[in-house]
Amino acid sequence: IAGITQAPTSQILAAGRRMTLRCTQDMRHNAMYWYRQDLGLGLRLIHYSNTAGTTGKGEVPDGYSVSRANTDDFPLTLASAVPSQTSVYFCASSDSAEQGLDTQYFGPGTRLTVL
């Protein structure tokens, strides 16, 4: 059982380029999330999805978009990357739409550098 996989592991990207970070889970969890982790700021929620076909905005959604076409996949797209989007990105999932109460399972992360 893989749990949550993310790709790529790391990426260096020129500013202005489009980039999609991939996230796949095999636990059949309803809810999925994207966070960014920055030194001194902890983890901040970018977007989330309570169930396939629905998405919502988190704390820092600007410059990012997501889709949830099926239960397993939750890609995060940067339409036109900027240096302030340099960060480590984590995908997570949980079994319940009651996100605050249920354990979240995290992927290994994608380290993105925008130059």
Partner 1 sequence: GDSVTQMEGPVTLSEEAFLTINCTYTATGYPSLFWYVQYPGEGLQLLLKATKADDKGSNKGFEATYRKETTSFHLEKGSVQVSDSAVYFCALSDLSNDKLIFGTGTRLQVFP
- Which residues form the interface with partner 1 (CB under 8 A)? 4, 40-45, 48, 58-59, 90, 92, 97-101, 103-109
The nearer residue to partner 1, 26 or 80, going by C-beta atoms, is 26
Cα distances (Å, whole numbers) of residue 24 to 45, 57, 93, 95: 18, 19, 10, 14
Q: How far is the CB of 31 from partner 1 (least distance, A)?
A: 9
In 56-109 the beta strands, taken as DSSP E runs, fall at 56-57, 64-66, 76-78, 87-94, 105-106
**Closer of 85 and 107 to partner 1 (Cβ):** 107
* Shortest spacing between CB 55 and partner 1, in angstroms: 14
- Widest distance between CA atoms in the chain: 39
